[in-house]
Structure 1
Amino acid sequence: MNAVVRQEAHGASLWHAISRSPRERPALHGEIDVDLAIVGGGFSGLSTALHAAGKGISVAVLEAEIIAWGATGRNAGFVVPNFAKMDPDSILAHLGPERGERLIDFAAGSADLVFGLIRQHGIDCDAVQSGWIQPAHSAAAFEKVQSRAQQWALRGRPAVTLDRQEVEALTGARGYVGGWMDRSGGVINPVAYARGLADAAERAGARIFERTRVTSVDRMGDGWSLKTPSGSVRAAKVLIATNAYGGPLFQTLQRTYFPLKVFQIATRPLPLETRARLLPGGQGVGDTRRNLFTFRFDADNRLISGGMHILSAGADTRVPQTIWRRLAEHLDLPDLPPLAYSWSGMAAVEPDFLPHILDLGPGLIAGRACNGRGIAMTTAMGKVLADWAAGTDAGDLPLPFAPPAPIPFHALLRHAPNMLLGWSILRDRMDETA
Structure 2
Amino acid sequence: MQPFPALKGAVETDLLVIGGGFAGLSTALHAAEAGQSVVLLEAHRIAWGASGRNAGFVVPNFAKVDPDGIRGMLGPRAEPLINMAAGSGDLVFDLIRRHQITCDAQQSGWLQPSHSDAAFAKAKDRVRQWSALQRPVQVLDAAGIAAMTGVAPDRSGWRGGWIDRSGGVINPVGYARGLARAATAAGAVLHEASPVTALQQVGAEWLASTPQGQIKARQVVLATNAYAGGLWPGLARSFFPLRVFQVATQPLPDAVRNRLLPGNQSLSDSRRNLFTFRFDAANRLISGGMPIVPWGADRRLPRAIHRRLAQMLDLPDLPPLQFQWSGMASVMPDFLPRVVKLAPGLLAGFACNGRGIALSTAMGRELADWASGTPADALAIPLKPAAPIPAHALARLAPNALLPFSILRDRIENKR
The answer to whether residue 113 in structure 2 is matched with residue 131 in structure 1 is: no
Corresponding residue to 2:138 among 160, 176, 185: 160
TM-score normalised by the chain length of structure 1: 0.94
Partner of 1:215: 197
The one-letter code sitting in structure 2 at the alignment partner of 1:325 is R
For structure 1, which segment, 181-190 or 406-415, has the greater mean C-alpha deviation from structure 2 after superposition? 406-415
Map of 1:141-220 to 2, 5 A cutoff?
Answer: 141-174=119-152, 175-220=157-202
Corresponding residue to 1:39 among 11, 15, 18: 18
> Number of aligned pairs?
412
Shift of 1:319: 0.1
Shift of 1:412: 1.2
Shift of 1:246: 1.7
Partner of 2:4: 25
TM-score normalised by the chain length of structure 2: 0.98
The answer to whether residue 66 in structure 2 is matched with residue 84 in structure 1 is: no
Partner of 2:381: 399
The answer to whether residue 217 in structure 2 is matched with residue 235 in structure 1 is: yes
CA distance, structure 1, for counterparts of residue 349 and residue 110 of structure 2: 25
CA distance, structure 2, for counterparts of residue 365 and residue 105 of structure 1: 22
The answer to whether residue 356 in structure 2 is matched with residue 349 in structure 1 is: no
Which runs of no fewer than 5 residues in structure 1 stay unpaired?
Answer: 1-21
Corresponding residue to 1:104 among 75, 82, 86: 82
Secondary structure at the counterpart of residue 367 of structure 2:
helix
Partner of 2:269: 287
Partner of 1:315: 297
Shift of 1:314: 1.6
| TM-superposition CA deviations, 1:196-240 (whole Å, max 9, x none) | 000000000000000000011101111100011110000000000
The one-letter code sitting in structure 1 at the alignment partner of 2:3 is E
The one-letter code sitting in structure 1 at the alignment partner of 2:114 is A
CA distance, structure 2, for counterparts of residue 107 and residue 299 of structure 1: 26
The one-letter code sitting in structure 2 at the alignment partner of 1:34 is T
Shift of 1:313: 2.4
CA distance, structure 1, for counterparts of residue 233 and residue 314 of structure 2: 46
Shift of 1:250: 1.7
The one-letter code sitting in structure 1 at the alignment partner of 2:53 is R
Secondary structure at the counterpart of residue 251 of structure 1:
coil
CA distance, structure 2, for counterparts of residue 383 and residue 129 of structure 1: 20
The one-letter code sitting in structure 2 at the alignment partner of 1:373 is R
CA distance, structure 2, for counterparts of residue 423 and residue 49 of structure 1: 42
Shift of 1:163: 0.3
CA distance, structure 1, for counterparts of residue 116 and residue 150 of structure 2: 17
Shift of 1:102: 1.0
The answer to whether residue 31 in structure 2 is matched with residue 52 in structure 1 is: yes
CA distance, structure 2, for counterparts of residue 89 and residue 312 of structure 1: 35
CA distance, structure 2, for counterparts of residue 138 and residue 266 of structure 1: 28
Map of 1:270-285 to 2, 5 A cutoff?
Answer: 270-285=252-267
CA distance, structure 2, for counterparts of residue 251 and residue 173 of structure 1: 48
Which runs of no fewer than 5 residues in structure 2 stay unpaired?
Answer: none
Partner of 2:249: 267
CA distance, structure 1, for counterparts of residue 396 and residue 382 of structure 2: 22
Secondary structure at the counterpart of residue 72 of structure 2:
helix
CA distance, structure 2, for counterparts of residue 133 and residue 139 of structure 1: 17
Partner of 2:414: 432
Shift of 1:251: 3.5
